Amino acid sequence: MIRTRFAPSPTGDLHFGGAWTALASWALACHERGHVTLRLEDIDAPRIVAGSAARIETDLAWLGLDWDEGPNMDGLHAPYIQSMRATKYEAALEALNARGLIYPCDCSRAEIAREASAPHAGEEVMYPGTCRNLPKNRAFKRPPALRLRVPEGSTVSFVDRIHGRVEQHVDVSVGDFVLRRGDGIYAYQLVVAVDDAAMEITDVVRGADLLGSTARQILLMRMLGTPPEAIPRYTHVPLVVGPTGERLAKRHDHPNTVRELRARGVTPEEIVGTLAFGLGLVENLRSRSATEVARALRPPSSWRRNPWRIPHEWE
């Protein structure tokens, strides 16, 4: 049985991009009579907006996107709230540490940027390994982060259901990446790898902005002993953008949330039908319930690949 998830960060109301990825993962699971898990990614405490988790849940339900496992449910893989899963992240860190695969790093961002070669546009700065071979019990300049010692030759390839084969040399293009930040917060890469494996997710459907994170997450899953058949398949859907191609998060005086459309009287079926057609989930543009989308679902290989501009009526 397939198991998909949506994993919103409760940092504000459900925006079009969140609804778009939630619809795609929900429709894929429903089409194949699988299960959907809702996981709240509230690990980055300083960014959390109080009350937004409940509002996101309300908005998802209003769109007709429900879940089989999620917060406040006693599912097999509970808890479904990352802030309640610290023991699992700590256990993963300990397992890696016992094999000498973790080291503390007290470099600042500025120091790393200065030492690393300048990245190409859109690329991340590669960590140059400054602290890799320093003694672990030295005096630190600031509370250290913990980094993964990425083994030489860590090339990960996977087949994305929209983008096809993707390959990344993690040791060369990313370097030793952070698993726990200096402020004690577990890094996104770690928590997602631990949770997707622990929750037996078979299909990760999410935004294309995370395509470059996937190799790191697969590498971590492997290093934590996840068998190859338990590594999920990936489907990275394109981003939702404004009329001139700008990121929606940058538009402050225009609607970018489901709630704003709802307040204007737009129905869930209009939103779902428009998103489903935009994503290429279905062939024709008309109002539909989420269940109707799942019934008419086209395979991920024919879903949209490029960024999608919101329609004029939503501006």
Instruction: Give least dist CB 217 to ligand GLU, A.
Output: 8
Instruction: Give least dist CB 193 to ligand GLU, A.
Output: 10
3-11, 45-53, 88-96, 107-115 -> range binding ligand GLU (CB under 6 A) = 3-11
2-10, 145-153, 272-280, 284-292 -> range binding ligand GLU (CB under 6 A) = 2-10
Our CB check for ligand GLU shows the closer of 56 and 146 to be 56
Q: Which of residues 23-52 bind ligand GLU (CB under 6 A)?
A: 41
Strands (E), the chain: 3-6, 35-38, 102-105, 145-148, 155-160, 164-169, 178-180, 203-207, 233-237, 240-241, 308-309
The active-site residue out of 88, 136, 141, 250 is 250
Residue 92 near ligand GLU by CB under 6 A? no
Our CB check for ligand GLU shows the closer of 8 and 71 to be 8
Q: Which amino acid is at 139?
A: A
Interface residue with ligand GLU among 3, 4, 7, 30 (CB under 6 A) is 7
Interface residue with ligand GLU among 9, 168, 202, 274 (CB under 6 A) is 9
Long-range interactions of 222-226: CB distance < 8 A, separation 24+: 223/96, 223/101, 223/148, 224/92, 224/95, 224/96, 224/193, 224/194, 224/197, 225/95, 226/197
In the residue annotation, 250 being an active-site residue is answered as: yes
Strand order in the sheet with 35-38: 35-38, 3-6, 203-207, 233-237, 155-160, 164-169
Token pair 């009350």 is found at 51
Instruction: Give least dist CB 40 to ligand GLU, A.
Output: 9
Burial class, 79, CB count within 10 angstroms (exposed 0-12 / middle 13-18 / buried 19+): middle
Angle at 41 between CA 38 and CA 46, to 5 degrees: 150
Our CB check for ligand GLU shows the closer of 34 and 128 to be 34
Mark 174-213 with x for binding to ligand GLU (rule: CB under 6 A) and - for no binding.
------------------x-------------x---x---
Catalytic annotation, residues: 250
